């Protein structure tokens, strides 16, 4: 069984057409700008907006583990004691407490995803499995899910950072239409600094998927301080050409910090506040670099 944090309907940014995106919990990278910090851990966890707490104390009495106490007229949660049981949620008068991570059986999830089948058919869309990192989830679960979706004719896209065993990709290859595959930088030291690990496995898996004939969209989160230079973009272009990566599409994704507000809810610190997106002129220039190199289906965003 895998944990899912969200099912986002009517998405137009996670593959072709209108899609439903399923966010799985757990990821092996620690990107400093991560938009979904609540998906990093593989365990259920409590999210709590302390700024909106009115100090009623109801959650203190409700917690069976003694994890909640009052400090300066606000509820404070000791995450070392919290088991994310959810008991406090029903007693919170402000509705500012929630648990990230819900279990669905495969049949329950397929039933939910089929509700928008009409939109998939009319728009050329389908279901996108994202995260976190879906390729490090329970692969028995993921394989059965994509098999069932494939069997009933629903297109499946995998949104992945690539930091997962290749055997996991092999298991689902026959049932997946497109992989949205992230490349952040070709500088391995920069990759370690901003993502917490090197890129060796990521690039190795990309090359194997390419040789296996997978349909791949290369996605590049574009950040001035990380890869927003001609040198960085040309290095990615040179790699794609050298390895003969058949990218059906290249998406340059300008940095944004819309997920930064989630960090305090998860008791985390957002470390991407000093990062910036290239301006529109710079983004257009990067598109031209790819086009001049022979990549014709290049988009900003998507």
Q: Residue 280 has which token pair?
A: 């529109």
For Cα atoms 179, 180, 186, give the angle at the middle one, nearest 5 degrees: 115
* Residue 182 pLDDT > 90: yes
Of the candidates 100, 135, 169, which is a domain's last residue? 100
Question: Where does the pLDDT of residue 264 fall: very low under 50, low under 70, confident under 90, or very high at 90 and above?
Answer: very high
Question: How are beta strands 74-77 and 68-71 bridged, if at all?
Answer: antiparallel
Q: Residue 193 has which token pair?
A: 């600094």
| Predicted confidence (pLDDT) per residue in 78-104, tens digit | 999 999 999 999 999 999 999 999 999
pLDDT above 90 as % of the chain:
96
DSSP one-letter code for 25: S
Same domain, 29 and 151: yes
Q: Which residue spans within 36-109 are E strands per DSSP?
A: 45-48, 68-71, 74-77, 97-100, 102-103
* Residue 167 pLDDT > 80: yes
Tell me the whole-structure pTM to 2 decimals. 0.94
Q: Is 185 exposed, middle or buried (0-12, 13-18, 19+ CB in 10 A)?
A: buried
Q: Is 260 exposed, middle or buried (0-12, 13-18, 19+ CB in 10 A)?
A: middle
Question: Where does the pLDDT of residue 275 fall: very low under 50, low under 70, confident under 90, or very high at 90 and above?
Answer: very high
For residue 51, the domain's CATH number is 3.30.70.20
Same domain, 36 and 72: no
Total number of domains constituting the chain = 2
For residue 126, the domain's CATH number is 3.20.20.70
pLDDT above 70 as % of the chain:
100
Instruction: Return the pLDDT at 198.
Output: 97
Q: Residue 299 has which token pair?
A: 């988009």
* Residue 280 pLDDT > 90: yes
**Under a CB-based contact definition with an 8 Å cutoff, are residues 167 and 206 in contact?**
no
Same domain, 93 and 114: no
Give the end-to-end CA distance of the chain in Å, rounded to a whole number. 30
Instruction: Return the pLDDT at 1.
Output: 74
Q: Point out which residues pair with 217 in neighbouring strands.
A: 180, 249
* Residue 180 pLDDT > 80: yes
| Predicted confidence (pLDDT) per residue in 222-234, tens digit | 999 999 999 999 9
In 3D, which of 44, 70, 49 has the Cα closest to residue 59?
70
Same domain, 15 and 159: yes
Q: Point out which residues pair with 70 in neighbouring strands.
A: 75
Same domain, 184 and 287: yes
Same domain, 179 and 270: yes
In 3D, which of 45, 23, 48, 47 has the Cα closest to residue 36?
23
What is the phi/psi pair of residue 20, to 5°? Answer: -110, 125
Integer Cα distance of 138 and 116 in angstroms = 25
Same domain, 34 and 159: yes
pLDDT, the chain, mean: 96
For Cα atoms 29, 178, 7, give the angle at the middle one, nearest 5 degrees: 65
Same domain, 201 and 113: yes
Same domain, 185 and 62: no
Same domain, 283 and 191: yes
Phi-psi region of 98 (alpha: psi -120 to 50; beta: other; left: phi over 0): beta
Same domain, 9 and 70: no
| Predicted confidence (pLDDT) per residue in 102-135, tens digit | 999 999 999 999 999 999 999 999 999 999 999 9
DSSP one-letter code for 32: T
Of the candidates 66, 84, 100, which is a domain's last residue? 100
* Residue 188 pLDDT > 80: yes
* Residue 241 pLDDT > 90: yes
C-alpha of 170 from chain center: 20
Q: Residue 64 has which token pair?
A: 């069976």
Phi-psi region of 202 (alpha: psi -120 to 50; beta: other; left: phi over 0): alpha
Q: Which domain holds residue 78?
A: 45-100
Same domain, 74 and 163: no
Q: Point out which residues pair with 254 in neighbouring strands.
A: 222
DSSP one-letter code for 37: G
């Amino acid at each position: 069984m895998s944990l899912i944090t969200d099912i986002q309907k009517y998405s137009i940014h996670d593959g072709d057409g209108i899609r439903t995106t399923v966010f799985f919990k757990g990821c092996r990278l620690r990107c400093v700008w991560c938009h979904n910090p609540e998906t990093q851990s593989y365990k259920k966890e409590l999210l709590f907006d302390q700024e909106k707490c009115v100090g009623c104390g109801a959650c203190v009495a409700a917690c069976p583990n003694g994890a909640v106490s009052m400090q300066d007229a606000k509820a404070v949660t000791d995450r070392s004691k919290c088991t994310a049981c959810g008991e406090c949620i029903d007693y919170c008068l402000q509705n500012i407490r929630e648990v990230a991570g819900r279990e669905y059986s495969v049949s329950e999830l397929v039933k939910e995803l089929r509700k928008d089948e009409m939109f998939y058919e009319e728009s050329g869309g389908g279901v996108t499995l994202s995260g976190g990192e879906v390729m490090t989830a329970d692969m028995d679960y993921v394989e059965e899910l994509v098999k069932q979706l494939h069997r009933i004719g629903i297109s499946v896209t995998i949104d992945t950072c690539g930091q997962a065993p290749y055997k996991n990709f092999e298991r689902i290859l026959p049932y997946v239409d497109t992989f949205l595959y992230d490349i952040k930088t070709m500088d391995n030291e920069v990759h370690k600094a901003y993502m917490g690990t090197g890129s060796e496995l990521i690039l190795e898996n990309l090359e194997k998927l390419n040789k296996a004939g997978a349909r791949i969209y290369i996605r590049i989160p574009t950040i001035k301080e990380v890869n927003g230079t001609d040198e960085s973009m040309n290095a990615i272009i040179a790699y794609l050409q050298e390895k003969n990566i058949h990218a059906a599409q290249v998406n340059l994704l300008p940095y944004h910090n819309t997920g930064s507000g989630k960090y305090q809810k998860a008791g985390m610190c957002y470390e991407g506040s000093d990062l910036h997106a290239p301006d529109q002129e710079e983004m257009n220039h990067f598109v031209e670099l790819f086009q001049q190199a022979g990549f014709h289906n290049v988009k900003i965003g998507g």
